[in-house]
Amino acid sequence: MMERRSLPFSIFLYANAIVLGIFIVAPLLWLVIMSISDTNDLTTVPLRWLPQTLDLHRYGELTSTVANSVGAAFLQAMRNSLLVAGMATIAALAVAIPAAWSVSRADGKLDVSLYGIIATYMLPPVALVVPIYFALSALGALNSVFSLAIVYLSILAPFTTWLLKSNFDHVPVEIEKAAMIDGARLDQILRRVTLPLAAPALTTAGLFAFLLAWDEFFYALLFTAKDSKTLPVFIADLAGGRVADYGLIATAGVLASLPPVLIGFFLQKSLVSGLTAGGVKG
């Protein structure tokens, strides 16, 4: 049922919608335009908003595999990001699935431990970074994608546990009990009954975890160098360095954003539960 709207109110509504749309899209559109504009077009005053010529060479430059080129470094960073985020996500799910199931089936008795874990992982990373740096340095494990993935586990595991727990709550206990009476072991129940029923939730949790790891900058900045740099560190270096071509920085930004934006659209429906669980990046 809808109230009939007056004409002025309709105009007000559409005007606001247009302003909001422009506010969201304009910066992104400009990032894309910068990536496909000739450098001359980007450095004229007054600025020409639309490029005179379409210049796609930077996309080729960043995906070039010639040794020591900026493209090779970019691809290496992309590979590192994929590796770190992938490994950390798989490890996080492996830890989170049993934990989430356990808390969910304890009828609220273990909820306190979960809230405790959530609270711990929201602590500022600056409070942990120095000892972790000492430890990695002593073990000779700095500058390694594996070490970084392990550190990320501390962010991803609590978050995925939290997300999965509320989803396991919706898997009826009766089905599990029936399987138990039929003589199934716990691991069989989880693998054959609960996890298939919670499959969409597992995908959601995994993708959220991947996004968190893809976005992380602070630990990556301090624990990686040269060959182990992830994309955010690579882009920050590029932006902070003496690169004269703004378009190249923009292109790296566009390419680094494609995976999370695609995942974001895919996650649309489950976004709110993830956001509340702390799936946000400062």
Q: Which of residues 34-63 bind other proteins (CB under 8 A)?
A: 34, 42-47, 49
**Chosen residue from 75, 117, 173, 195 binding other proteins by CB under 8 A:** 117
The alpha carbon torsion through 194, 199, 200, 205 (nearest 10 deg) reads: 90
Minimum separation from the CB atom of position 275 to other proteins (A): 6
How many residues make up the chain in this entry? 282
x-or-dash pattern for other proteins, window 192-231, by CB under 8 A?
A: -------------------x--xx-xx--xx--------x
Contact positions with other proteins (CB under 8 A) in 64-103? 94-96, 98-99, 101-103
Q: With CB under 8 A as the contact rule, which of the stretches 59-67, 69-77, 130-138, 195-203 interacts with other proteins?
A: 130-138
20 phi and psi angles, rounded to 5 deg = -60, -45
C-beta closer to other proteins: residue 54 or 258: 258
Stretch that binds other proteins, among 30-38, 51-59, 61-69, 198-206 (CB under 8 A): 30-38
Token pair in block for residue 6 = 């007056």
CB of 60 to other proteins, least distance (A): 20
Whole-angstrom distance, CA of residue 255 vs CA of residue 245: 16
Q: What is the dihedral of CA 19, 22, 27, 30, to 10 degrees?
A: -140
Which residues have a Cβ under 8 Å from the Cβ of 194 and sit 6 or more positions away? 101, 168, 171, 176
Question: Which tokens belong to 124?
Answer: 């500022």
Q: What is the dihedral of CA 160, 165, 167, 171, to 10 degrees?
A: 140
231-260 binders of other proteins (CB under 8 A): 231-232, 235-236, 238-240, 246, 249-250, 253, 256-257, 260
Of 38, 166, 184, 245, the one binding other proteins (CB under 8 A) is 166
Q: Are 251 and 31 in contact (CB under 8 A)?
A: no
Count of positions on this chain that bind other proteins (CB under 8 A): 105
Q: Which of 50, 54, 67, 123 binds other proteins (CB under 8 A)?
A: 123
State both tokens at 122.
């929201």
Long-range contacts of 118-124 (CB under 8 A, 24+ apart): 118/158, 118/162, 118/277, 118/278, 120/158, 121/154, 121/155, 121/158, 121/159, 121/278, 122/278
List 11, 56, 178, 186, residue binding other proteins (CB under 8 A): 186
175 binds other proteins (CB under 8 A): no
Q: Which is nearer to other proteins, 15 or 66 (CB)?
A: 15
Question: Cβ of residue 199: shortest distance to other proteins, in angstroms?
Answer: 18
Which one, 122 or 199, has the nearer CB to other proteins? 122
